[in-house]
Amino acid sequence: MSWSVVALLRPCTSCGEPHDGAGRCSDCRREADTARTRTRDSSRAHQGTARWTRLSARLRRSSPFCERCGSTRLLEVDHILPVVEFPELVYCLDNLRVLCRRCNRSRGHRWTHEEAVVVLERLESAYRRRPTLTLREAVNVALRAAEGGEGPHAGPAQPPPVSRETRYTPPWGIATRQNVGVSHIVGRTDQEVRA
C-alpha cells in the first residue's frame, strides 16, 4: 500500500486564492512587504531630525496626555492627516496632536472626513490671522483631504476582504452528511483513499 502526501490548500488571507501555506500567498506577501517598506520609509523620514525632535518635545510638554484616552504614558505626536498621503503637512502644527503609543498605533495611516475638516478649519483660521504662502499651500492640501473623504484612498481595485467564514472554509465546502463521499484529503473521494 503506497501513501502519497497531499498538501492541504488554504485560502490566502489577502486575495482568497488557495495556496499551500498559512497566511498570505507568495505574491500577496511580496506586495505587502514592498508596500510596508515604502510606507515606513516615507512616513518616518522626518523623525530623528532636530526640527522634529524639538517640535515633538514642545507639543508633548504643552499637552501631557493622550487626546483620545487621557493616558499620560508613552506619548507620541501624531499626524492627523498622515505623512504618507500628505508630506507637505509634516511640520504643520495644525495637523499634529498628542496620542499615547497604543492609540497612535491602532489608528495607523487612516483618517476620517471629520478629522480632515478639523485640520482644514484650523489652517484656514491660521491663514486669516497671518496670510502666508506656506499656510495657503497647507490649506490647499487639507482641502484636498477633506474633499477626498476618508483615507487612505484605494488605489487599483482591491479584492474583496476575506471573511472569517470563507477564510476557514475550504473552497470545496465542509463535509456534511449529504456529501460524505468527499474525503478530508483534497481532490480524493473516500473510496480512492481507502483503496
Average pLDDT, the chain: 75
Higher pLDDT, 28 or 103: 103
Higher pLDDT, 62 or 188: 62
pLDDT at 164 over 60: no
Per-residue exposure over 94-105, b if at least 16 CB sit within 10 Å of its own CB, e if not:
bbbbbbbeebbe
Long-range contacts of 148-154 (CB under 8 A, 24+ apart): 148/116, 149/113, 150/110, 150/111, 150/112, 150/113, 151/81, 151/82, 151/85, 151/109, 151/110, 151/111, 152/82, 152/84, 152/85, 152/109, 152/110, 153/85
Higher pLDDT, 87 or 150: 87
pLDDT at 136 over 60: yes
pLDDT-above-90 percentage for the chain: 20
- Look at residue 192 and give its three-state secondary structure: helix
Mean pLDDT for the stretch of residues 164-182: 47
The model's pTM is 0.55
pLDDT for residue 125 = 92
Give pLDDT tens digits for 27-37: 888 887 766 55
Residue 194 has which C-alpha cell? 481507502
In angstroms, the CA 89 to CA 141 distance is 8
pLDDT at 155 over 60: no
In angstroms, the CA 76 to CA 86 distance is 19
Residue 178 has which C-alpha cell? 449529504
